[in-house]
Amino acid sequence: MNAPALKTEIEPVAIPAGVYAETVTEVHHYTDRLFRFRMTRPAEFRFRSGEFAMIGLMIDGKPLYRAYSVASPAWDEELEFFSIKVPDGPLTSHLQNLQVGDTVLMRKKPTGTLVNDALLPGNRLYMFSTGTGIAPFASLIRDPETYEKFEEVILVHTCREVSELKYGFDLVEEIRNHEFLSEIAGVKLKHYATVTRDANYPHQGRVTDLMRNGKLFTDLGVPPIDPEIDRGMICGSAAMLKETKQLLIDAGLNEGANNKPGEFVIERAFVD
């Protein structure tokens, strides 16, 4: 007589107290280095477009969190994130394997300086980004408030290769085809994408070099940065932040913060 098979009990993952546990609804891999995912949004979770949240996973029985800009706008019913894949990254080495239905942890308090409130009124808003630094701007360019505050919004995105620019192009196309965003953004939104390693792309070079030699402004058909009307937001690598910040200071702009708005702001939160 055969002995009855033993039923295997799967231990549920214990969720830490005081955090949200949300469900992944969509995953899209752009390259072997970049992907985005969407997940459910807690009904009571409020944030300003451009802020970041601490998101994480349970790894070896412990929660591990990193700062990620919320790429979806404040009005969206879900939360979107855009991430790099780091093979040995403590969190991203696991995050890149997310599948629909998986659970992601999120702390309850968002924060950040890349918000409209941290800028003084102006006419033209530059959003300078490299790589996944475009994420907070993905939120802001889909928020009607941005176009209420600025007459012109210029999204500048620099990557190594053309394939890494696709997320930005998809965003702009989404806005152009959106029922109400297309009317609000209209001709106000400009997208300037550049690469540093692909010789076949029209716009080449680091954005800081294109600012120095004036090509950025010539290509866009706008005058050089004027502290009276121009405002800036910067998100990217540490070197890019430092260099772009100095160029804006040299142009006469002052750095702002949530408690003291200025002509430009920087996000210093990074993921590994």
Dihedral angle of Cα 54, 57, 58, 60, to the nearest 10 degrees = -110
pLDDT digits (tens, 9 = 90+) for 149-195: 999 999 999 999 999 999 999 999 999 999 999 999 989 999 999 99
| Residue 6, C-beta contacts closer than 8 angstroms, at least 6 positions apart | none
pLDDT digits (tens, 9 = 90+) for 39-86: 999 999 999 999 999 999 999 889 999 999 999 999 999 999 999 998
Q: Count the Cβ atoms, other than its own, within 10 Å of residue 215.
A: 15
User: Phi-psi bin for 214: left (phi > 0), alpha (psi -120 to 50), beta?
Assistant: left
What SS3 state is found at 145? helix
Q: Where are the beta strands (DSSP E) in the chain?
A: 19-29, 34-40, 52-59, 62-69, 78-84, 103-107, 124-130, 152-159, 189-195, 230-235, 264-266
Residue the block writes with tokens 């913060």: 257
Look at residue 268 and tell me whether its pLDDT is greater than 90. no
End-to-end CA distance of the chain: 56
Least trusted range by pLDDT, from 7-21, 96-110, 242-256: 7-21
Between β-strands 34-40 and 78-84, what pairing exists: parallel, antiparallel or unpaired? antiparallel
pTM listed for this prediction: 0.91
